[in-house]
Amino acid sequence: MSDNEPRVWVNGRLTGVDEPSIAALDHGVTVGDGAFETAKIDRGQVFAATRHARRLDRTLSGLGLPAADHDYIAEGAKAVLEAGPQIEFGRLRYSVTGGAGPLGSDRDDSPLTYIVTAAAQPRPPQSASVAVVPWVRNERSAVAGLKTTSYAENVVALAYAKERGAIEAVFANTRGELCECTGSNIFVVSGGVLLTPPLESGCLAGITREVVVEWCREDGMDVREQTLPVEVLREADEVFITSSTKDVLGIHAVDDRALEVGPVTKRAAEVFARFSAERMDP
């Protein structure tokens, strides 16, 4: 295994990236019936592991699947983290699917499938651009706010953004409200106040979003979860996105509108960096 090759553990054993390791009729493959988490690896340690575990179970419950065996996931995480040199920066991703099932959307009583992977990646850039996509998030969907393995919508939206030179795609919801990106949450700054869409918008309860809100408030910043029209991106003073592997990432352009990475964004990034260095599992 090379230093940069993703490390893979499936149902109790390390396996090669290209080695067959799950059933052809696994429900995670046939219908996207599963949940997953992506956590940041920083200098060999996993950030916010407890919060990620809790969110996984919220997603599984929302899908009607049983709670995960977190000891088993921890075994897989240990295996992939120790399968090669220390990962200085990267991602730990673990998925739990409904297991082998019928070709349709029905389930049977098959045991869950567990997949744990780890891979190094470059640290995020200093700033980036985003593109607003013509599709919307359905805040009334049966899986709104759940981190499921059904990601085709995100794949299409992210490709649209990348074609326009952007790092992320931004969704409104069906009401025309600012919602989220494909794998990131979004914040705007207006009049010095830090604003982010509430969970009722249909956005994912991002782990980095959650701790940014908590830590910035702890540091004395004015942070509000507030319903916002997507048009706020045309007039906001600053914009940034958050995710497990982007941390707090300032945005220097939304579509063709240029922006400065301003003082509020810089302070939020500094607060997150300082607190996360002290609190690996907040």
The whole-model pTM stands at 0.95
Q: Starting at the edge strand that comes first in sequence, how are the strands of the sheet with 45-46 ordered?
A: 13-15, 7-10, 113-120, 89-97, 34-42, 45-46
Within a domain: residue 2? no
Residues 145, 16 within the same domain: no
Within a domain: residue 32? yes
Q: Please, is 167 exposed, middle or buried when counting C-beta atoms within 10 Å of its C-beta (0-12, 13-18, 19+)?
A: buried
Q: Among 56, 87, 120, where does a domain finish?
A: 120
Q: What CATH code is carried by the domain that includes residue 175?
A: 3.20.10.10
Number of structural domains in the chain: 2
Range of the domain at 187: 128-278
DSSP state of 227: -
Q: What CATH code is carried by the domain that includes residue 50?
A: 3.30.470.10
Within a domain: residue 26? yes
Residues 179, 260 within the same domain: yes
Say if CB 243 and CB 128 are below 8 A apart.
no
Residues 52, 166 within the same domain: no
Cα separation, 18 vs 104, whole angstroms: 26
- Strand 223-225, strand 193-196: pairing: parallel
Cα separation, 184 vs 248, whole angstroms: 10
Q: What digits encode the pLDDT tens for the residues 86-114? A: 999 999 999 999 999 888 999 988 999 99
Length in residues, the chain: 282
What stretches of the chain show up as alpha helix (H) in DSSP?
Answer: 27-30, 49-63, 70-81, 152-163, 207-218, 263-278
Cα separation, 249 vs 40, whole angstroms: 14
Q: Crossing angle, helix 207-218 and helix 263-278, to 10 degrees?
A: 100
**pLDDT confidence of residue 4:** 75
Cα separation, 87 vs 42, whole angstroms: 7
Residues 172, 112 within the same domain: no
> Which residues of the chain have a pLDDT value below 70?
1-3
CA 114 centroid distance within chain: 19
Least Cα distance to 132 among 202, 232, 274 occurs for 232
Residue with tokens 């060999």: 44
Number of DSSP helices (H) and strands (E) in the chain, helices first: 6, 15
Q: Among 101, 120, 139, where does a domain finish?
A: 120
**pLDDT confidence of residue 20:** 87
Residues 146, 226 within the same domain: yes
**pLDDT confidence of residue 223:** 98
**pLDDT confidence of residue 2:** 53
Residues 182, 234 within the same domain: yes
DSSP state of 199: G
